Structures are given as C-alpha cells and as structure tokens.
Amino acid sequence: MFNKRTDLALEARELLFEAGETLSEIKGVRAEEEFFEHDIKTTTVEVLDKNGEKALHKEKGRYITIELPQNWWMEQTVYEAACKICAKELKKLVSGNFLENVLVVGLGNRNITPDAVGPITLDHVLVTRHLIRYMPEEIDKRLKSVCGIAPGVLGITGLETGEIIKGLSEKIRPSLIIAIDALCSRSVKRVNKTIQLSDTGITPGAGVGNRRMSLNEKEMGVPVIGVGVPTVIDAATIAADAIDLLIKNMKENAEGNQRFLEMLKDAEEEDRFLLLKEVLGENVGDFIVTPKDIDEQAEEMSRIIANGINIALHEGISLSDIDRYK
C-alpha cells in the first residue's frame, strides 16, 4: 500500500482494498457500519491484534468514524443529530466508572485555524470542576467534574504537550482524558465532515506531519480517548484524485483523447501518485491544504464535538440545558 497521508483508520482500511491487497476483510481487523437519519453514517473499525496493527499502521483498539453529509452546517436538525450521535458513540468507548473526574485537552495552535479545532472545542466544553469543588451545594447533581486545558504547541511554549498533560494528570489525577486534535484525510469529501473517536489516544501534530509525544494510557497512566477532525489534505493526494477523475471523465467522453487516455491508464495509480508528490515537492514544497471557509467549518465541527462531550459526560443533560449553562 502506498502512502496517501491519512490519520483515519477508516481510510487506511479503504486504501488496502483500493490497492487490491485483499478482497475480503483484513486479518486482525473488524469493521461495522451504522446508518442514521440525515445521511449520517458511523463506521467502527476494530484493530484486534498485531496483524491488524501491521495492516493499518494503527494501534490495537477501536476507531469510530462519524461521517456527516455535504453542507451539513446549513441544517440545524443535522447539527443537533450529529451532537447526539457524537455523544452516543463517545459513550461506547468509556464506562461510567471513568466519568467522575475528566480532563479535556484541546490540542493544537489557536493561531492557525486548521490546527485550532482542539482549543476552539474547549471553549464550548462545560467545565465544572471548580464549581463542584468550591460551591457543591449550588451545582446540579447531574454534572460530573470536568476540567480542561489548551496547552499550546511546542514552538510557542517550548514544552512538549505530552509533558504538560502528564504533569497535570499526576497532580489532579483524572479518571479519563479526552484529547481533541486536527487530523489529515486522504479524501476531500471527508475534510471538516468527519469525526474520529478512538480509545487508543492521540498523537499531537499528527495531522500536519509533526508527530510529538503520544497521549495514551501507557504514557498518561489513565485511559485516553482521542477525538480528531480532518481539517487538511495532502496536495499530492488532491492532484492524484483529480487525475483519477480526469481518467474517468475521458473514458466516458473519449473521442479524440484516446492516446492521452491510454498513456494515463498505463501508469499505475501508485506511480502517478509518487510522480505527483515528487514534482510538487521539487517545485512548490510539501503542501497540505485546507478549505477557504475553514474558520466557519472548524467552529461548527468544534461545537459538535464539545456538545457530544457535554451530553456524554453529564447525566441527563440535553442541548437546551447546555445552551442555558453556557
């Protein structure tokens, strides 16, 4: 399988099928789809053992991908349904024992919008630890203890994000950490329309090719849920997909283009991709790109994740309750 950059387990599995490496389910991997109203779909990919880890290049665990329809942000009903589904899927990854004292971590650089999903999400998370600690008699008993931090990035703080979170975790002793970060997709249709939840944690900077110390149970000493939104895509991947679409179009309208079409068809998909990556790298650099309306989309995706977290953590809390608290 050649390397179209992606952080989504769903896409890593798809690439194996597209490359023709398997015609049946991958050994060590199990997948299940579920469909909801408003064309919302979830896919749970479970990496079961070392065979699965080797095949997908993902750690053993569960990866739940929520896919939203095109232009989902234009419909309030779709937004509300997405919040509830996000909460439902998040609950699958944790048991009630882990929800008493939760630390939410907004990873990324707030000054760079495609990398700011984590900090923006934290703005909308209902934090309650200070209220429960200092005025417990005034607090709705349905609320759990939740605190949050946006630790910034190494280039600004000079500190490894993992070191900051590990030190904080040792001090406040959370029962669960939820870490939110930007990811990279290999499909334009999934950028800012997809949420990945996993019980394997997350690696800060992975979405922009700058991997740092991982946030996972092994490093932190407590369970870590990773939540990510693909906000960027590799420029070479876009170019390769554009050529695939061109070939498809020329097959349907091949008059006068047979020689050029045959030349493109003779080149293997992997060769086309590697050639594009080399040409782009030599002439314009290793680019990753994001949609022009990333500001609005990042804000809306962050609200879905935050409300999913709020509903999942606080017993009986609804979207209307969250609006009242916030």
Per-residue model confidence as pLDDT tens digits over 149-200: 999 888 888 888 999 999 999 999 999 999 999 999 988 889 999 999 999 9
pTM of the predicted model, to two decimals?
Answer: 0.85
Q: Which domains does the chain have, with CATH numbers?
A: 9-236+287-325 (3.40.50.1450), 237-283 (no CATH)
Stretch (H or E) spanning 29? strand 29-35
Task: Tell me how many degrees the CA angle 300-301-305 measures, rounded to the nearest 5.
Answer: 120
* CA end-to-end span of the chain: 46
pLDDT value for 75: 84
Q: What are the phi and psi torsion angles at 148 (to 5°)? A: -145, 160
Q: In the predicted model, is pLDDT for residue 73 greater than 80?
A: no
Per-residue model confidence as pLDDT tens digits over 283-316: 555 667 888 899 999 999 999 999 999 999 988 7
More confident residue, 98 or 246: 98
Instruction: Find, among 231, 252, 270, the residue nearest to 116 by Cα.
Output: 231
